């Protein structure tokens, strides 16, 4: 297989034509966007993008960039990736018949309203996969067990506000879903999360009932604002916020005043340091990625001739595949340009 796969701005597949996946600005003959997280979408869109309807709607809502899209193209098929709403893996067929699977970010777990990626349905000669949690220490509890633990924690603390932190697209919606399953309490969300909720609703039959709020309203209701509030005080509301808000001073100010608890949701919660970095009272390893064992199972199910790894523990995971499982595997390093650069 003398076709080239390189990691530059996005993943480039030189397969008789240039297919570029998840670039910020680079454009190829065909351009694929796997999902609408900011690090996988165009800052300025090429003429036409291959992506799902849901990804197009969410990306436009988040970036303000409207673009033309198609859900398939000659030699390129999209299949559900199980990462976030609208996420897709791409099956790319070269002119010589070689089949490539580009996973994008993916998860094989069924979660809330999402079906997981099904590697048993994939036929590919070359697998290009993300390996965010490609180290053996990242093994997560069964999904049902994890969901139960989260719901029980919410129910146990029904007498105080709860601040729940997760990525605006993906974790924030699943946390809202679990909160609704756990209790009949008001759920509030930031405007950023509300924008994503509305975009998802516009392209699917999913509804997230979180009411938009802002720091000024929350501070008034908590009694820590200079403004005299005519609003009801914060008592047992569940507030869902982006992860990058966890260390904001106004959050800690409200928590101290009301007794609110802060919970963080991420696969990185396997590490104790995640709890302390975010200033959380509790953390849960709720993630939209595969854990180590699920990554291994994906490779074994597809059983490709060649595996390229990228992101996270790409080198460590490629080494495990080669030394323990006998796969021809290599990490994709940014700006390497030929297969020879990998020491093959």
Position 10 confidence tier, pLDDT thresholds 50, 70, 90:
very high
Average pLDDT of the segment spanning 62-88? 93
Percent of the chain with pLDDT over 70: 95
| Model pLDDT for residues 122-133, shown as the tens digit of each residue | 999 999 999 999
CB atoms within 10 A of CB 270: 18
CATH 3.60.15.10 domain extents, the chain: 4-137+289-342
pTM score: 0.94
pLDDT, mean over the chain? 93
pLDDT at position 342: 35
Average pLDDT of the segment spanning 92-120? 97
Average pLDDT of the segment spanning 22-33? 92
Strands of the 10-14 sheet, one edge to the other = 4-8, 10-14, 18-21, 30-32, 48-50, 68-70
Residue 218 Cα distances to 188, 230, 253, angstroms: 10, 12, 10
pLDDT at position 335: 64
Measured distance CA(142)–CA(158) in Å, rounded: 25
103-119 core/surface letters (b: 16 or more CB in 10 A; e: else): bbbbbbbebeebebbeb
Are 304 and 99 a contacting pair, CB within 8 Å?
A: no
CATH of 143-284, picked from 3.30.70.2740, 3.30.450.40, 3.40.50.10890, 3.10.20.740, is 3.40.50.10890
Measured distance CA(240)–CA(253) in Å, rounded: 16
Helix (H, G, I), strand (E, B) or coil at 253: helix
Average pLDDT of the segment spanning 113-127? 97
pLDDT for residue 3 is more than 70: no
Of 58-72, 117-131, 278-292, the least confident:
58-72
Position 227 confidence tier, pLDDT thresholds 50, 70, 90:
confident
Element spanning 262, H or E? strand 261-265
Domain 4-137+289-342: which CATH class?
Answer: alpha beta
In degrees rounded to 5, what are phi and psi of residue 276?
-75, -35
CATH 3.40.50.10890 domain extents, the chain: 143-284
pLDDT for residue 199 is more than 90: yes
Burial class (CB in 10 A: 0-12, 13-18, 19+), 204: middle
- Smallest Cα–Cα separation from 306: which of 322, 289, 293? 322
């Amino acid at each position: 297989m003398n076709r080239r796969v390189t990691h530059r701005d996005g993943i480039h597949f030189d397969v008789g034509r240039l297919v570029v996946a998840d670039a910020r600005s680079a454009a190829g003959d065909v351009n694929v966007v796997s999902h609408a997280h900011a690090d996988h979408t165009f800052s300025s869109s090429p003429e036409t993008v291959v992506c799902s309807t849901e990804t197009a709607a969410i990306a436009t809502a988040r970036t303000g960039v409207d673009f033309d899209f198609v859900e398939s193209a000659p030699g390129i098929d999209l299949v559900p990736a199980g990462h976030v709403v609208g996420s897709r893996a791409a099956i790319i067929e070269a002119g010589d018949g070689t089949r490539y699977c580009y996973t994008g970010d993916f998860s094989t777990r069924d979660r809330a309203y999402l079906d997981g990626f099904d590697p048993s349905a994939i036929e590919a000669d070359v697998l290009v996969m993300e390996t965010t949690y490609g180290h053996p220490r990242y093994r997560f509890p069964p999904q049902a067990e994890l969901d139960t633990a989260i719901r029980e924690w919410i129910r146990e603390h029904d007498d105080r506000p709860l601040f729940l932190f997760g990525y605006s697209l993906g974790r924030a919606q699943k946390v809202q879903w679990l909160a609704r399953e756990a209790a009949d309490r008001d759920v509030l969300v930031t405007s950023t999360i509300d924008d994503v909720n509305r975009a998802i609703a516009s392209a699917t039959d999913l509804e997230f009932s979180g009411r938009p709020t802002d720091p000024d309203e929350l501070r008034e209701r908590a009694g820590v604002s200079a403004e005299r509030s005519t609003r009801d005080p914060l008592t047992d509301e569940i507030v869902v916020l982006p992860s990058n808000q966890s260390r904001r001073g106004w959050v800690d100010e409200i928590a101290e005043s009301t007794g609110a608890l802060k919970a963080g949701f991420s696969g990185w919660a396997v590490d104790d340091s995640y709890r302390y970095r975010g200033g959380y009272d509790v953390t849960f390893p709720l993630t939209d990625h595969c854990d180590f064992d699920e990554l291994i199972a994906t490779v074994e199910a597809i059983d490709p001739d060649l595996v390229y790894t990228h992101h996270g523990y790409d080198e460590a995971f490629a080494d495990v595949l080669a030394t323990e499982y006998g796969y021809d595997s290599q990490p994709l390093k940014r700006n390497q340009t030929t297969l020879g650069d990998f020491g093959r």
